[in-house]
């Protein structure tokens, strides 16, 4: 069944978001085994109107998750394979001279899609990486002085390998800050890995056709439902205090900016809706703080030398900030 907003006489509610999201995740899980939490996090990023960075070693289904989710959501998708020789025009598009009309016409690049897969984004030089900055922040690109709006909905899901550094260009802070969530994929457990092997052996073919559960208009309606999720003042102040705590930690050169606070707001509302709630709980903030904030921290060199990780520091902030009691929510 494909959910479409025109089949309903009322706007989508949080209960609708929960039901549709469950169907989407269940369909993706037909090919991506043992990664339900990761699938849900990517879906949270898309429904929150943000962008997602999937980070882990090769072979953990990062690309498969994105392609499968785009298929099930019914979104027009494109893939950009980032390489050292990739140019900004290869991403955004460029002007092409039309001999018949005697003028330049704009030929859109692969960034003109609902869901853009940026594969191995750290293999392209900074000049090419920066071609995505305007698109990710403003939903448009400027080429030859002309501004072109990107389709709606629009989301970038990029992948990178954090282990291999030869021939790579680390993402600058400004680029990392554009990602709503940074998600490690991780290895499957023993049972999940056996399930991958078993399903492939029984299927007898590499590819598996997935059913379309939604379309672009449905995703926009789901985003509208997420925007109606409420944030009470006590929970909102708790969110702000968690983010502000990252700026006063010893050894942290740069803490999370107000953009980090907004990212946590957007993602926690999407998580609440996926669970059928129209209000945010402190548990939503605890669940998403690391994915929203860790990649926005810049540590001093001595902390890196001691093996400290930004993720550990975010957990430290969560432990230090008092949680609002139920009567205050």
Judgement on whether residues 120 and 11 belong to the same structural domain of the protein: yes
Least confident of 48-57, 136-145, 302-311: 302-311
Residue range 240-265: mean pLDDT, rounded: 92
Is residue 57 in a domain?
yes
Residues 183 and 114 in one domain: yes
| The pLDDT of residue 57 is above 90 | no
Residues 203 and 236 in one domain: no
| In-domain check, residue 179 | yes
User: Which of 159, 182, 217 is a domain's end point?
Assistant: 217
| Domain identity same for 14 and 49 | yes
Pairing, β 115-119 against β 77-81: parallel
Tell me what the pLDDT averaged over the chain comes to: 89
- The pLDDT of residue 131 is 86
Is a pLDDT exceeding 70 seen at residue 329?
no
| Residues 318 and 210 occupy one common structural domain | no
Q: Are residues 193 and 108 in the same domain?
A: yes
Interval 175-186: pLDDT, tens: 888 999 999 988
Last-in-domain residue among 162, 197, 217 = 217
The answer to whether residue 328 scores a pLDDT higher than 60 is no
Cα distance between residue 137 and residue 130, in whole Å: 11
Structural domain contains residue 223: no
Q: 277: domain CATH number? A: 1.10.8.80
Q: Residue 67 falls within a domain, yes or no?
A: yes
Same domain? 213 vs 240 = no
DSSP string for 14-27: HHHHHHHHHHHHHH
Q: Are residues 212 and 233 in the same domain?
A: no
222 within some domain: no
In a domain, 239, yes or no: yes
- Average pLDDT of the segment spanning 38-44: 96
Shared domain check, 135 and 78: yes
Domain C-terminal end among 217, 237, 252: 217
191 and 281 share one domain: no
Residue 174, C-beta contacts closer than 8 angstroms, at least 6 positions apart:
133
Using pLDDT thresholds of 50, 70 and 90, give the confidence band for residue 1.
low
Q: Are residues 310 and 203 in the same domain?
A: no
Alpha carbon distance 98, 128 (integer Å): 26
Residue 6's pLDDT is: 53
In a domain, 324, yes or no: yes
pLDDT for the residue 299:
85
Q: What percent of the chain has pLDDT over 70?
A: 94
Q: Could you read off the pLDDT of 257-293 as tens digits, one per residue?
A: 999 999 999 999 999 999 999 999 999 999 999 999 9
Helix, strand, coil distribution of the chain in percent, nearest 5? 50, 15, 35
Q: Do 262 and 289 belong to one domain?
A: yes
Mean pLDDT of 233-258: 92
Question: What is the domain count for the chain?
Answer: 2
**Domain extent for 324:** 229-328
How confident is residue 5, by pLDDT bands cut at 50, 70 and 90? low
Q: What would the pLDDT profile of 114-172 be if each residue is shown by its tens digit?
A: 999 999 998 888 888 888 888 999 999 988 888 999 999 999 999 988 766 666 788 88
What is the domain-level CATH number for residue 70? 3.40.50.300
Which DSSP state fits 230?
B
């Amino acid at each position: 069944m494909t959910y479409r907003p025109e089949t309903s006489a009322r706007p989508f509610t949080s209960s609708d978001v929960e039901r549709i999201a469950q169907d989407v995740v269940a369909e993706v899980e037909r090919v991506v085994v043992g990664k339900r939490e990761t699938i849900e996090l990517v879906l949270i990023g898309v429904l929150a109107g943000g962008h997602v960075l999937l980070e882990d070693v090769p072979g953990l289904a990062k690309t498969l998750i994105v392609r499968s989710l785009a298929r099930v959501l019914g979104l027009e998708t494109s893939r950009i394979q980032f390489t050292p020789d990739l140019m900004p025009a290869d991403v955004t598009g460029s002007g092409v001279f039309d001999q018949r009309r005697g003028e330049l016409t704009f030929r859109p690049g692969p960034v003109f899609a609902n869901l853009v897969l940026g594969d191995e984004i750290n293999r392209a030089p900074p000049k090419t990486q920066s071609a995505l900055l305007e698109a990710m922040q403003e939903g448009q690109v400027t080429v030859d002085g002309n501004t072109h709006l990107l389709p709606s909905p629009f989301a970038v899901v990029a992948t990178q390998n954090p282990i291999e550094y030869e021939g790579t260009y680390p993402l600058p802070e400004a680029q990392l800050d554009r990602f709503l969530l940074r998600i490690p994929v991780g290895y499957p457990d023993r049972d999940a890995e056996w399930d991958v092997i078993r399903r492939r052996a029984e299927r007898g073919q590499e590819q598996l056709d997935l059913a379309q559960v939604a379309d672009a208009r449905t995703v926009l309606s789901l985003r509208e439902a997420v925007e109606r999720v409420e944030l009470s003042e006590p929970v909102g102040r708790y969110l702000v205090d968690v983010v502000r705590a990252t700026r006063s930690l010893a050894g942290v050169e740069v803490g999370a900016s107000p953009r980090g606070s907004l990212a946590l707001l957007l993602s926690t509302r999407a998580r609440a809706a996926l669970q059928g709630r129209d209000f945010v709980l402190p548990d939503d903030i605890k669940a998403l703080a690391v994915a929203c904030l860790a990649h926005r921290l810049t540590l001093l060199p001595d902390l890196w030398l001691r093996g400290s990780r930004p993720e550990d520091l975010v957990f430290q902030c969560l432990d230090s900030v008092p949680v609002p009691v139920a009567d205050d929510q």
